[in-house]
A and B are shown apart, each in its own frame.
Chain A
Amino acid sequence: MRSTTQTQAPDARGVAWYLDKAMAYLVFGAGVSAILLIVGIFVFITKEGVGFVWDTVDLGQFFGSPAWRPTSDTPQYGALALIAGTASVTGLAMLIAVPFSLGAAIYIAEFAGGTQREALKILIELLAAIPSVVWGFIGLSVLNPLIIEWFDVPVGLGILNAGVILGLMAAPIMTTIAEDALRAVPDGYREAAEAMGATRWQVTWRVVLPGAKNGLTAAILLGVGRGFGETMAVLMASGHAVQLPDGVFDSVRALTATIAAELGETAVGSDHYQALFTLGILLFVVTFAINLTADLVVRGISNKD
């Protein structure tokens, strides 16, 4: 429109015109604020943590040593045990959450009808709203005695407890996203298969699931990202011991929980403080990669259709 000086609109440039222009810039500013914030988060945590990565720590030790002793006389900053803690808890949580939430999504999207579907969806949505600190409290005070009793172990806080809690936490969200992915498969596909005499299960297995493959993958990825970044529940249910775990009853400590437990005790700018921000950079980068991958996978579907 820049070259249309001759055909300039005859409008009076009144209050409405200027208001319109001003609001266009204002909402544009708000729109790009999302980009500014995500860049801002990266810049601020990097600013605090980068000195540590550059000067203090040997990255080989950071990723290769399980010794996280930031407060000893000769501080050691090995994050391997923390990474193992996060990985083991998230892994167990996904073993629980992935099959059950995909199963629930299939039931809600393909088998349940009408009122039953609505009721289940609302129930799942309500479960997704339970705050993470409440989940942590449930792990601490409800699941902990149960694990001690059922498995005859001295302490019930560990990978098993945190994994189950995290699995139950992540499942409703994964169910909702997976169900959306299944609903996105056009009904025409289902009708075509049913017209040829396929049962509901055959339609689901042969037509709907292959069609929703990308959306389901994205649902799983987002669940992994969620488990990876969960803080309070893991802090309270995992037992919080820095060690490389041997079995599911072992106590572990997660990356997120370490930051939550130690940030309050560190002096601003100290090596320990910077080390915690470095863990934050690691968390940010990994979740960013997971979310980006999930987005690319989902876009794969919309490009194909």
Chain B
Amino acid sequence: MFQATALNRRNARIETGMRVAYLGMTLMLIVPVLLVLGVLIDKGAPALSWEFLTEVPLKGMTEGGIFPALMGTVALVLVALLASVPVGVAAAIYLSEYAPNTWLTRLVNLAIINLAGVPSIVHALFGVGAFVMFFGFGTSILAASLTLAVMTLPVVIVSTRESLRAVPQEFREACWTLGATRWQTIWRIVLPNAISGILTGVILEVSRTVGETAPIMFTGAAFFLPFLPQSVFDQTMAMSLHLFVISTQVPDVPEALPYAVALALIAVVLVMNAASIAFRVVLRRRKKW
């Protein structure tokens, strides 16, 4: 019969101790943030209303809603997606379907890693130097969105590349055997099988883009602009910059207002992320291969 020795008992004690200690460390990361979110909800929720979302800011942004900022963020995200998704998906197709194992491919991968690591304010400088001045777009939705697109391009490329690679090689081989060209195979077989994974990545990109502030500060987002933009060459308000402005630059803002903006911003980001995660879980369950 098994008789626990002193060493066994000691090891068991250490084991339990370690498990508890590491669980504690995990919770130390999560619990404070949940408490903070609780505070945001507590202070911000009373100010949230339908009017808050549909009215323009009034009285030097101390009253009223966030409608122009909300619509501005939508415009910025849409234009950024129009630029980054086609390029990102094409780049991912190259990396997954074409790229030979050479120094050039290695360089492309390295560039993607570094593009993801460049500080957001450096992207802002690039946006000012390249899009605002060199290409002459001025401070506009177009310049800001292109800056955001460059910044979030690695997200699209990496997530799309992974979902393309998850399509089994046999699918491609079966298609080639029937005499299809490489592109016909990608268009008819690989992309349809990877499309949901690609969409998951795009949702993730949207949630990143919504919250970015530094890259749009000098490229196209305005402090205060109570109208909606008429074209991509206009400036616009944005939710993220609006939160920065009313919590640091404007005097006499009632306390609940920035909390409500922060809450709205977090809600958008978390809902998009949760959707992307749920999408992924469903996909994993439904996978046929």
Contacts and interface: CB of A to CB of B under 8 A. Distances in A.
B25 A100 contact: yes
B119 to A, nearest CB: 3
Contacts of A236: 244, 247-248
B77 to A, nearest CB: 13
Interface string B77-109: 000000000111011011101110000100110
Interface stretch (B16-24, B46-54, B61-69): B16-24
A26 B88 CA distance: 12
A38 B111 contact: yes
Interface string B1-34: 0000000000110110011011101101110110
A132 B87 CA distance: 26
B211 A131 contact: yes
B232 interface: no
B240 interface: yes
Interface in B215-264: 217-218, 240-241, 243-244, 247-248, 255, 258-259, 262
A66 interface: no
Interface stretch (A28-36, A77-85, A207-215): A28-36
Given A23-B183, A137-B262, A230 B119 contact: yes
B126 A99 contact: no
B273 interface: yes
A260 B120 CA distance: 10
A229 B243 contact: no
B282 interface: no
SS class, residues of chain B in contact with chain A? helix
A119 to B, nearest CB: 10
B121 A260 contact: yes
Given A37-B153, A125-B273, A129-B269, A100 B29 contact: yes
Interface string B119-159: 11111111011100110000000000000001001100100
B114 A292 contact: yes
A301 B213 CA distance: 36
A288 B111 CA distance: 10
Nearest to A103: B25
A133 B243 contact: yes
Interface stretch (A13-21, A56-64, A148-156, A187-195): A13-21
A199 B25 contact: no
A226 B121 CA distance: 12
A69 interface: no
Interface string A24-51: 1011111111110110110011011000
Nearest to A23: B183
A107 B114 contact: no
B75 to A, nearest CB: 18
Contacts of B269: 129-131
Interface string A106-148: 1110011000000010111111011111101110111000000
Interface of B: 11-12, 14-15, 18-19, 21-23, 25-26, 28-30, 32-33, 36, 39-40, 86-88, 90-91, 93-95, 97-99, 104, 107-108, 110-115, 117-126, 128-130, 133-134, 150, 153-154, 157, 181-184, 186, 207-208, 210-214, 217-218, 240-241, 243-244, 247-248, 255, 258-259, 262, 265-266, 269-270, 273-274, 277
List the 9 closest pairs (A to B, CB-CB), nearest first.
A131-B211, A229-B119, A103-B25, A30-B90, A31-B94, A107-B22, A44-B129, A20-B181, A27-B94
Interface of A: 16-17, 19-20, 23-24, 26-35, 37-38, 40-41, 44-45, 47-48, 99-101, 103-104, 106-108, 111-112, 120, 122-127, 129-134, 136-138, 140-142, 168, 171-172, 175, 199-202, 204, 222, 225-226, 228-232, 236, 256, 259-260, 263-264, 268, 276-277, 280, 283-284, 287-288, 290-292, 294-295
22 contacts: A16-B183, A24-B98, A27-B93, A30-B90, A37-B153, A40-B126, A100-B25, A103-B26, A130-B269, A133-B243, A134-B262, A201-B18, A231-B120, A232-B244, A256-B121, A280-B122, A280-B125, A283-B122, A284-B122, A287-B118, A291-B117, A294-B113
